[in-house]
Amino acid sequence: MRTGKPDTLGALRASGYASRSVKQEMRENLVARLRAGGPLFPGVVGYERTVIPGIVNALLAQHDFILLGLRGQAKTRLLRALVTLLDEEIPVIAGSELNDDPFRPTSARARRIVAEAGDETPVEWLRREARYNEKLATPDVTIADLIGDVDPIKAATRRLTYADPEVIHFGIVPRTNRGIFAINELPDLAPRIQVGLLNILEERDIQVRGFPVRIPLDILMVFSANPEDYTNRGSIITPLKDRISSQILTHYPKDAATALAITRQEAWRSRGGPRVAIPEEVELLVEEIAFAARESDLVDQSSGVSARVAIAAMELLVSNLERRALATGEEPAWPRLVDVHMLLPAITGKVEMVYEGEQKGAEIVARALVGAAVKKRFSARYPALGRDAGPGEEGGPYAPIVAWFAAGNGVTLSDEQPFAEYEGELGRVPGLLALAERHGANREERAFAAEVILEGLHQHGKLAREDIDSTVSYKEALKFQLMRRVARSEGRSDAN
């Protein structure tokens, strides 16, 4: 018994409590929440004008609904957040199996308790968190798991015949009576099991085996699924799809800024270890890797690229900075572009390749995605390339840099170098740090910008890059080497 709450049926009736169906309860609570303003689903970012209005409309219409979208689109989080629209507590008959309403008991056991005890029927209060259940659909899920079956042990122990409704052992769906039941990955449920859900969605009742008794349920049924063209393991049968009143499409973040807000919320960054500093430009670069994957011809787009790619990559970046801080004693540790190549484990396991991608190899594709992300940030933030196509030509701001490499010079960068050594290596390239000057508020940010310039030139074919373990070396592009060799063979004065 909770203090101040009626603990018997008579006391509950005297208190003036009025029962509501779960859908009516959620509708009224949602209306009150909308009038009060504020976020309906805290922690869900990027759906304010798309998915959330669809869910609101479905709840106002008292619809069962399905969220349809690729992996990593917050479908399960949204379904679990529906709990906040339930009353904080509701009364149930104490000891009932189906959270029976004291005023309208549905199970045979609850009706018997009320018939025997009358107004002294004990009442307990069920918190909203206990009114939500979910099931991950798998091919081995049975009707007994979801709906129920006859329990011969109960029949023998209590000396009941199989004709007695109290021999039924109820499944998880009826045990969620007066609550919300979610099924994730609905197409993975065997078609014959999906058929067992038809009565629940339309007639709102269940039947177990051959029992003539029907048990009406008060329940909100919600589902999630990947699009059918991706889920090859199964599909949603047409009659069930027809009875799910609303289908709501989810999606990935539409821009890097929205994706960054999600990653900041989800990634584990405050660890209490060595101090690290990650500028927003680096955060956006990590997000662009996921966007590059969603645009790549080497990645299976029907499978999707989860938001977990950027979240896991950010956590690995923090770890790499911690590792360097512990090794060098330099705090706070600032990111370098070479650190980003240590994030490949967060990409290779989460991105499904098409045949061409599988032929190239997961790591090569992941490096290509990182390169595409850098190229996009380089094109957006740095001066456009001039006619610095080769040594000796008039060109843009990068001509002296390209010419220095074309003369046979190179730099080698590592995520393990102390900052002074790392900065000194970049400083060997004439004009590089000066060009990066306006792209950073301190030496660490400017060094990062300088490395982005080198990678941007590589992505545009101006420089060659060699990756060995955790080091990256930039040198003259092969075409410039060939040009220099031709010039020397012809005895031209611009050969160097």
**pLDDT tens digits, residue range 249-266?**
999 999 999 999 999 999
* Domain at 252-381, CATH from 1.20.1070, 2.60.40, 1.10.3710, 1.10.8: 1.10.8
pLDDT at 206 over 70: yes
pLDDT tens digits, 35-51: 999 889 988 999 999 99
- Of 128-132, 233-237, 278-282, 330-334, the one with minimum mean pLDDT is 233-237
Total Cβ atoms within 10 A of residue 290: 28
Mean pLDDT value of segment 25-39: 94
pLDDT score of 100: 95
- Does residue 394 register a pLDDT over 60? no
Is pLDDT above 70 for 391? no
Q: What is the pLDDT of residue 118?
A: 95
Q: Are 175 and 133 in contact (CB under 8 A)?
A: yes
Beta bridge partners of 101: 104
253-267, 348-362, 471-485: lowest mean pLDDT where?
471-485
483 phi-psi bin (left φ>0, alpha ψ -120 to 50, beta other): alpha
Report yes or no: 101 and 67 within 8 Å, Cβ to Cβ: no
The stretches of 245-361 forming alpha helices (DSSP H) are 256-266, 280-295, 308-328, 337-340, 344-348, 355-360
Q: Within 10 A of 128 (CB to CB), how many other CB atoms are there? A: 17
Reported as a pLDDT band with limits 50, 70 and 90, residue 496 is very low
pLDDT digits (tens, 9 = 90+) for 403-414: 999 999 999 999
Confidence of residue 494 (pLDDT cuts 50, 70, 90): very low
Residues contacting residue 345 through CB under 8 Å, at least 6 positions apart:
316
Tell me the pLDDT band of 155, cut-offs 50, 70 and 90: low
Residue 492 has pLDDT above 60, yes or no: no
Return all residues near 310 (Cβ < 8 A) that are at least 6 apart. 259, 262, 263, 286, 287, 289, 290
Q: In the CATH hierarchy, which top-level class contains the domain 9-249?
A: alpha beta
| pLDDT higher than threshold 50 for residue 493 | no
pLDDT at residue 80, as a whole number: 96
Least confident of 52-56, 355-359, 453-457: 355-359
Q: Is the pLDDT of residue 393 over 90?
A: no
β-partners of residue 382 are none
Helix (H) or strand (E) holding 80: helix 75-81
Q: Is the peptide bond before 418 cis (omega within 30 degrees of 0)?
A: no
Q: What is the pLDDT of residues 57-66, one digit of tens each?
A: 999 999 999 9
What sign does the CA torsion over 356, 358, 364, 370 have? positive
> Which residues belong to CATH 3.40.50.300 in the chain?
9-249
What residues does CATH 1.10.8 cover in the chain? 252-381
Q: Which of 176-185, 354-363, 424-433 has the lowest mean pLDDT?
A: 354-363
Orientation of helix 443-459 relative to helix 399-406, angle to 10°:
70
Eight-class DSSP state of 111: H
Q: CA–CA separation, 30 vs 220, rounded Å? A: 14
| Among the listed residues 154, 148, 149, the one whose alpha carbon sits nearest the alpha carbon of residue 171 | 148
Q: Shortest CA distance to 315 belongs to which of 270, 253, 368?
A: 270
Of residues 2 and 422, more confidently modeled: 422
Contacts for 341 with CB less than 8 Å, ≥ 6 apart: 367, 370, 415, 467, 470, 472
pTM of the model: 0.86
Query: What is the residue-averaged pLDDT of the chain?
Result: 89
Question: With contact defined as beta carbons under 8 Å apart, do 274 and 331 qualify?
Answer: yes
Residue 168 — pLDDT band, cuts 50, 70, 90? Answer: confident
Task: Provide the CB-side half-sphere exposure for 391 (13 A, CA).
Answer: 26
Q: What's the pLDDT score for residue 495?
A: 45
Distances 351 to 69, 207, 343 between C-alpha atoms, Å: 16, 43, 13
Q: How far is CA 94 from the centre of its chain?
A: 39
Q: Percentage of the chain with pLDDT > 90?
A: 72
The residue assigned the tokens 């990182």 is: 370
Higher pLDDT, 208 or 458: 458
pLDDT per residue as tens digits for the range 82-113: 999 999 999 999 989 899 999 999 888 899 89
292's CB contacts (< 8 A; 6+ apart) are 369, 370, 372, 373, 376
Mean pLDDT value of segment 19-34: 97
pLDDT over threshold 60, residue 484: no
How confident is residue 370, by pLDDT bands cut at 50, 70 and 90?
A: very high
Query: How far is residue 255's CA from residue 290's CA, in Å, rounded to a whole number?
Result: 11
Kindly state the average pLDDT of the residues 376-380.
94
pLDDT, average across residues 155-182 = 80
Find the Cα–Cα–Cα–Cα dihedral 427, 433, 434, 435, rounded to 10°.
140
Which pLDDT does position 38 carry in this prediction?
81
pLDDT of residue 158: 72
